[in-house]
Structure 1
């Protein structure tokens, strides 16, 4: 079971690093928003994997708050970008 945990941890770390790189490099605001959604989704998956490996549900409220933050952030950026569109 520890080998599976290490492999999952490495894959989650790779996803987090890739999304942080995309957030820094950009080039557009929508690229950064998609990358931040990917980072939040990766964090939610990490918390879910922690719940599975350690047999608890203590982090479920944190996962719900992170999901709501991602949704409201995406809606806010979409509204901002739609108002910036000249057409």
Structure 2
């Protein structure tokens, strides 16, 4: 069982590294927004895996709050991009 948890942490860590690369090198703003949303999802998965690893149910509440915050941020970014993105005026 612990091997699976360690493998999950390693896979999620690798995913975070690749997401950070996309976040930095993303050629457009929508690419960076998608990378941020994916990063938030991976962080929620890490918190969930840690909750299973430590057998502590209160971390599930933290994961839910992080997921809701990421969802609201994604809606805010989508509205920002829908209205035309950054302006120069």
**TM-score, length basis structure 1:** 0.86
Q: What's 1:17 paired with?
A: 17
**2:80 aligned residue:** 80
**How far does residue 61 in structure 1 lie from its aligned partner after superposition?**
2.4
The CA distance in 2 between the partners of 1:14 and 1:57, in whole Å, is 26
Q: How many residues align?
A: 85
Partner of 2:60: 60
State the secondary structure of the residue aligned to 1:45: helix
Runs of 4+ deviating beyond 2 Å: none
Paired position in structure 2 for 1:39: 39
**CA distance in 1 between partners of 2:29 and 2:76 (Å):** 12
Gaps of 5+ in 2: none
Measured on the aligned residues, the alpha-carbon RMSD in Å equals 1.4
Gaps of 5+ in 1: none
How far residue 13 of structure 1 moved from its aligned partner, in angstroms, is: 0.5
Which secondary structure does the structure 1 equivalent of 2:16 belong to?
helix
Distance 1:60 1:3 in 2: 21
